Amino acid sequence: MYHYTQSGSIQAGPFGFNADPKGTLAIGAPVADGDAKREQQDRVYSSSWSQEQVLLFRSAGVYIKSLTTRVGSGAFVQEDVCTPSHPLKAIALPFVVGKSWSDQATCNGRTVTIQGKWLRTEPRTVGGVRVSTNVVSIVTHQTGNNYNVTVNLTMWIAPKYGLSVHATQTGSGSAQGNSFTENLTEDLERLTPDP
Over residues 94-118, the pLDDT tens digits come to 999 999 999 999 999 999 999 999 9
| pLDDT at site 59 | 95
Whether pLDDT at 173 is above 90: yes
Whether pLDDT at 78 is above 90: no
Separation between Cα atoms, residue 168 and residue 187, nearest integer Å: 9
Nearest C-alpha neighbor of 92 from the set 111, 119, 112, 67:
119
42: confidence class by pLDDT, cuts 50, 70, 90: very high
For range 121-132, the mean pLDDT: 98
Separation between Cα atoms, residue 155 and residue 136, nearest integer Å: 5
* 95: β partners: none
15: confidence class by pLDDT, cuts 50, 70, 90: confident
